[in-house]
Amino acid sequence: MIRSSATFSLVDTLWSFLALCFFVAFCVHKTTSRYSTCRLLVLFQDLIRYGKTKQNLKRDDWLRVFDVPKRWFWHFYALSVCWNGLLLVLYLNFMFQQQSLPSWLTGILDILTGVPSSASQVPRLSTLLVQLLLWVHSLRRLLECLFVSVFSDGAMHLVQYMFGLGYYIVLGLTVLCSDRLDTGTGTLLSQHAWLHVAGFALFTGSSLLQHQSMVLLARLRTGKSGTVETLAHKMPKGGWFELVSCPHYFAELLIYVSLSLVFGGLSLTWWLVVLYVLFNQALAAQLCHDLYISKYESYPKHRKAFIPFLL
């Protein structure tokens, strides 16, 4: 796979900007106090926190008007299953039925990539696999939200909610942008590479890790029969929780790395997505880690927030 354009595309700029924003947010959080009374910092904390990390935040009542239930997380994955499922079907028609992508979709891709569509474009096995794995990931997370996770009355900001909806729409388009920006050659079978296998293996292992972590979190609130006994927040333990406070966030990062491997490891656009996920999940994990440390005096000191032994 060879980059067909040496310039930074609009989609590259977008993911770079988002990665930079969350990196700055992470740094600001690490260097400021959550108990600051500065209105600007309170607004900042209100925008980056959700769920249990938001409950003890001292903020004005008018800010609570923008709260929506955290349990609405399932909306993100439901949208992703539908939207990315549609994009997958359209790409399958392009690949096997030689049907061109709809004009509205190619127009969006033209703008995002700066590379016009070509009738001679070769379908890429990597793109199909990434679309399929992204759809499977979204479906699993939707089922976990609906049937595994036990949500409390935690909230998230309306801006976070709208961002989450837009995120999965742009993510699906980014897969097709990577297809447009990196040229492929040969038949589907000839495009098969060992990185596809490596990426699939990492995707499977990371998905299992994330699912195990979600089950362990749910068991903190359920009894042996599976019925909900409490909505209180408890100290997580077991599995990879013995190494980091948020192994489910670490698994999310690994899942996106695995998709980059499926792309052959050469898609600049997707590595920028991975960079965004790194800073986004690092911030969320640090917020949880700080809460656990402040809430539990016996919280294990060797646990990191996000990446085992590092962060």
Taking only the tens place, the pLDDT of each residue in 35-76 is: 666 888 889 999 999 999 998 888 888 889 999 999 999 999
Residue 137 falls inside a structural domain: yes
Greater pLDDT, 249 or 297: 249
In a domain, 103, yes or no: yes
Nearest to 84 by CA among 73, 92, 74, 72: 92
Q: Does 260 have pLDDT greater than 70?
A: yes
- What is the pTM (predicted TM-score) of this model? 0.93
CB atoms within 10 A of CB 303: 18
The verdict on residue 306 lying in a domain is no
Q: Is the pLDDT of residue 120 over 80?
A: no
Within a domain: 93: yes
Q: Could you list the residue range(s) of the whole structural domain that residue 161 is in?
A: 9-295
CB 277 within 8 A of CB 253: yes
Q: Would residue 223 count as lying in a domain?
A: yes
Instruction: For residue 161, give the nearest of 248, 277, 249, 73 by alpha carbon.
Output: 73
Which residue from 130, 104, 128, 126 is spatially nearest to 117, judged by alpha carbons? 104
Residue 1 lies in a domain: no
> How far from 188 is each of 124, 129, 135, 233, CA to CA, in Å?
7, 11, 20, 49
Contacts of 97 (CB under 8 A, 6+ apart): none
The mean pLDDT value of the chain amounts to 91
Residue 5's pLDDT is 41
Q: What is the mean pLDDT of residues 122-147?
A: 95
* The pLDDT value given to residue 35: 60
- Is residue 4 in some structural domain? no
Cα–Cα–Cα angle for 17, 277, 299, rounded to 5 degrees:
125
Residue 300 lies in a domain: no
Cβ atoms within 10 Å, residue 42? 18
In angstroms, rounded to a whole number, what is the distance separating the alpha carbons of residues 260 and 88?
Answer: 18
Number of domains in the chain: 1
State yes or no: pLDDT of 80 exceeds 70: yes
